[in-house]
Amino acid sequence: MSRLSRIAWLCAAMAAVLAAPTMLQAEDQCVACHVELDDELAAPVEQFKTDVHSAAGLGCADCHGGDPTSDDPDESMDPKKGFHGKLDPLDVPKYCARCHSDAMYMKQYNPGLPIDQYDKYRSSVHGERNAKGDKKVAQCASCHVPHDMKPANDPTSGVYALNIPGTCARCHADEEYMAPYGIRSDQYARYEASVHGQALLVEHDLGAPACNDCHGNHAASPPMVGSIPNVCGNCHAFNADLFAQSPHRAAFKEQDIPACETCHGVHDITMLGTENLGDGDQSICLDCHSADDGTRGIATAVAMQGHLTRLEDGYHHADSLLAVAERKGMFVEEARYNLKDVRQQTIQAHTLVHSFDDSVVQTKVDSGMLVLAGVTEAAHEKLAESAFRRWGLLISTLIISFVAILLYLKIRQLES
């Protein structure tokens, strides 16, 4: 080692020795103390290691105040130094807003994070009741677990899409907890069985709506009667446009009844089918209409049901013909591809029911029937070709067998 290298090494060692007391003094004494306590008080230390605030370089004192450099409890937890332990639920929103409503401060960590959460929260049902002194309603720490907060895109976060229904259910599925508010507590069970719940919770489709997609996040509130089509229309835009141009919009508005949920339900949203139209036992049209109510409601519903049934029956018939042709070894890929187009037009025809105009549904059904006619014809051709091949094979087999017998007899004759 050269003389210059030795000098550099010694300087580095001396700097480390001189800095050691400072580094020791700068150690977070909150952590050093809490790890020695019982499990309940030590748990936040372990949880905070993966907390989003810890990842940003923040520590205990950034939220709790006090002096984290002192190992004297009286000094480190001195209220005069801004220390406060567990916050009162009524104070949590305003306290979180100290940072999360400060645009310049938040830009240091996440410029894309909204800074209006506090204002939105105060406009929500939760925020209004919190402001009135209700400590039971949800506030920031109810959904974002203290000391263990994760980004919304983290699968272990309570506000990750798949986890949001369960997070809301911690309060809203507790019958005793919700009783003072007069709010039913079966929303989660109904949502879980709904078409939305099955898509999100069972199929793990992150595009399926959870509680916050309809009620909002920090500004969570139940949609009002007049706003429900707009809420549903965020995803089902075409359906919303059809309904807005239909005769039902004015009627629903006049009677002050909700649009989408009247037919589809609220949390237990179901996928309605052709059987729910018309005037049969499963018809939901009969909930409002009757044959002699002076409107074309039932007549329109029966007509739309007839059109859809015609297309659906034709689809299933063509599908069964192609299945038989496939079992007979025929190549039917082109016909299968065209049948997919019929399936798509069937879905579109069902969507057009929201126009409540049977002529609009009929136009789409007729378009599907044209394609279906070609598919059915192709299926019959494949079946006819299969029959021709089988008969040809049978006749060829008989001829070959006859010739073989003649050859055998001739050979026997020559041998004699």
Domain locations in the chain?
86-220, 297-415
Largest CA distance in the chain: 129
Average pLDDT over residues 13-36: 58
Residue 225: what pLDDT?
Answer: 66
Q: Measure the CA–CA gap between 328 and 332, rounded to whole angstroms.
A: 11
Helix (H/G/I), strand (E/B), else coil: 357: coil
Instruction: State the chain's mean pLDDT as an integer.
Output: 88
Q: What is the per-residue pLDDT for 20?
A: 37
Residue 374 pLDDT: 95
pLDDT-based confidence at residue 293 (cuts at 50, 70, 90): confident
pLDDT band at 17 (very low <50, low <70, confident <90, very high): very low
Q: How far apart are CA 85 and CA 34, in angstroms?
A: 13
Q: Give residue 21's pLDDT band: very low, low, confident or very high (50, 70, 90).
A: very low
pLDDT band at 241, cuts 50/70/90? very high
Q: What is the C-alpha to C-alpha distance for residues 239 and 230, in angstroms, rounded to an integer?
A: 11
pLDDT for the residue 85:
83
Per-residue confidence (pLDDT) for residue 139, from 0 to 100: 95
**Model confidence band, residue 406 (pLDDT cutoffs 50, 70, 90):** confident
* Number of CB atoms found within 10 A of residue 350's CB: 20
How large a percentage of the chain has pLDDT more than 70? 93
Buried b (16+ CB within 10 A) or exposed e, 193-216: ebebbeebbeeeeeebbbbbbbbb
Q: 155: which residues sit within 8 A by CB, 6+ positions away?
A: 162, 163
- Most confident range (mean pLDDT) of 22-26, 80-84, 172-176, 402-406 is 172-176
34-57 pLDDT, tens digit each: 888 887 888 888 888 889 999 888
Instruction: Note the pLDDT of residue 286.
Output: 93
pLDDT bucket at 70, cuts 50 / 70 / 90: confident
Give percent of the chain with pLDDT exceeding 90.
59
Q: What is the DSSP string of 53-105?
A: HHHTT--HHHHH-S-TT---HHHHT-GGGT---SPPTTTHHHHHHHHHT-HHH
**Model confidence over 188-197: pLDDT tens digits?**
999 999 999 9
Of 28-37, 49-58, 250-259, 344-353, highest mean pLDDT? 344-353
